[in-house]
Amino acid sequence: MRPSGRALTLPRRGLLAALVVGTVAAPVAAARLQLPAIVAPASHEHLAGKVIFVELVTPDLALAKRFYGGLFGWTFRDIAAGRTAYVEAMLAGRPVAGMFQR
């Protein structure tokens, strides 16, 4: 037996209402989110588009370390992450990137 048009309309209206409420509520909830400071002490400087941390997936981790170490002056710390080789790249002793081989 096929449901009537009215039986199909009610769930659709409920779904539409949930989508509208979710669309309006999500930005409001996101606006209240407080993240920890990236630098210590916290700075009020805002640089639009500033890259603060990047992860690189590379087929050759040793080659990537040589390339980015020479290009940016990064030093590296190998981190055991299960069976995945992960490297933390640092500049002046502070982490700036991560790399892993795939």
Tell me the per-residue pLDDT of 66-90, one tens digit each, with 9 for 90 and over. 999 999 999 999 988 788 889 999 9
| Together in a domain, 61 and 97 | yes
Check pLDDT > 80 for residue 102: yes
pLDDT given for residue 59 in this prediction: 94
43 assigned to some structural domain: no
Task: Give me the number of domains the chain comprises.
Answer: 2
CA distances from 47 to 37, 55, 77, 94 (A): 14, 20, 28, 19
Tell me the residue range of the domain where 88 lies: 54-101
pLDDT given for residue 48 in this prediction: 79
Q: What is the pTM of this model?
A: 0.50
pLDDT given for residue 40 in this prediction: 66
The answer for residues whose C-beta is within 8 angstroms of residue 74's C-beta and 6 or more apart is: 68, 89, 90, 91, 96, 97
42 assigned to some structural domain: no
Instruction: Calculate what percentage of the chain has a pLDDT beyond 70.
Output: 59
